[in-house]
Amino acid sequence: MIGRLHGKLLSKHPPELLLDVMGVGYEVEAPMSTFYQLPEVGEDVVLHTHLVVREDAQLLYGFYTLAERRLFRSLIRINGVGPKLALTILSGVSADEFSRAIYDNDVAALTRLPGVGRKTAERLVVELRDKLDAGLIPSTGVKPGAVLAGDEASNPVGDAVSALIALGYRAPEASRMVRAVDAGGLAAEEIIRTALQAAARHA
């Protein structure tokens, strides 16, 4: 099991990033909560990782904090929640907001996330409520607006649309969300963050 990587950030195009660890390039998928905290391309970073081994692939997921990885692991243990949906949940809502929805039995808030139907939302509430009470679902510590500068993408708007599609949104919906953002001069991560926040407000 690969549990931690320390290396140079070579590229980041949500939800994927490439990390050089002593000459070996690791392709890693990460939630937006992690992307918001990444340093600039070319700088060193430490990621806490979770390896998923399937018959057809070995997928590595990376997280900026242990709290993020702990929440991810709690999510994928729930029937019907795979790694992709877990990343979508971590990308679409902060750990504090997620915890509040679980604590308040707010199924409606959870179903606003792409890929989360009512049955899945109800299962999340039932199975994670005890873990929340026990303090096993912590805050990731991500603050709104904590976006760090990234590499200069040739097309931040296109990257943002692609990332939203990868997170579970349909292509027309992802395009609409990004078009609603005043994207002038913004990096892809910031466009995505703004689009997700707007979607949550207007859902």
Closest residue by Cα to residue 84 from 37, 136, 124, 30: 30
CA separation (Å) from 45 to 3, 18, 73, 164, 184?
Answer: 14, 11, 21, 24, 28
> What is the average pLDDT score of the chain?
82
In DSSP terms, 60 is beta-bridged to: 51
pTM metric for this prediction: 0.69
**Distance, CA of 167 to CA of 62 (rounded, Å):** 15
DSSP letter, residue 6? E
Closest CA to 141 of 198, 35, 39, 67: 67
User: Which residue did the predictor score with more confidence, 94 or 87?
Assistant: 87
Tokens 């390896």: give the residue. Answer: 51
- Rounded mean pLDDT, 31-55: 93
CA 7, 90, 72: angle at the middle one, nearest 5? 70
Q: What is the pLDDT of residue 152?
A: 38
Q: Among 63-67, 99-103, 158-162, 178-182, name the most confident range.
A: 63-67
Residues 6+ apart with CB under 8 A from 39: 9, 45, 148
Please give the C-alpha separations between residue 65 and each of 38, 126, 192, in angstroms, as whole numbers: 11, 25, 20
Residue 129: beta bridge partners? none
What are the Cα distances from residue 178, in Å, to 17, 20, 123, 154, 160?
21, 31, 31, 16, 7
Please give the radius of gyration of the chain, using alpha carbons only, rounded to the nearest integer: 16
> What's the DSSP call for residue 16?
E
Average pLDDT over residues 44-66: 93
Q: Confidence band (pLDDT; 50, 70, 90) for 134?
A: low
pLDDT at 144 > cutoff 50: no
Domains of the chain: 4-63 (2.40.50.140), 68-133 (1.10.150.20), 156-202 (1.10.8)
d(Cα 43, Cα 32) in Å, to the nearest integer?
Answer: 19
Q: Which amino acid is present at 134?
A: A
Residue 135: pLDDT over 80: no
